[in-house]
């Protein structure tokens, strides 16, 4: 597999994480943190079943932690769909929803 695709929600969340981190922690720490998140996304692309099965949240969702955030994803035949990246204090049921299939 070894490939992931970011949903529009995930892209928006990562932009927000970057903006917040730049303001609070500076450029160097922001770069380190975003690299950590990217490493976790690459990890699940290679090891999709290593994440936690979140079937109680939404059908066929998985999650894996990345620092203070949690990456939510779906396993597809050819890639991983990164559905969203939420702060660990956020309630997933209020933020996660299925996007239309292409």
Tracing tokens 């999709």 back to the chain, one arrives at 48
> Within a 13 Å sphere around the CA of 8, how many CA atoms are in the beta-carbon half?
6
**pLDDT value at residue 77:** 87
Say what the pLDDT of residue 56 is: 60
Taking residues 64-87, what's their average pLDDT? 92
Q: Could you give the C-alpha distances from 30 to 27, 39, 43, 86, 93, in angstroms and in order?
A: 5, 14, 20, 16, 27
How high is the pLDDT of residue 88? Answer: 83
Domains and CATH numbers, the chain: 4-89 (3.30.2310.20)
pTM of the full predicted structure? 0.84
- Contact between residue 37 and residue 17 where contact means Cβ atoms under 8 Å apart: yes
């Amino acid at each position: 597999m070894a490939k992931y695709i970011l949903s529009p929600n995930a892209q928006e969340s990562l932009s927000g994480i970057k903006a917040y981190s730049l303001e609070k922690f500076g450029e160097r720490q922001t770069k380190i943190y975003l690299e950590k998140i990217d490493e976790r996304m690459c990890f699940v692309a290679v090891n999709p079943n290593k994440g936690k099965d979140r079937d109680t949240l939404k059908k066929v969702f998985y999650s894996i932690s990345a620092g203070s955030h949690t990456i939510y994803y779906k396993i597809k035949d050819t890639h991983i769909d990164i559905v969203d990246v939420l702060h660990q204090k956020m309630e997933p049921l209020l933020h996660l929803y299925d996007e239309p299939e292409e």
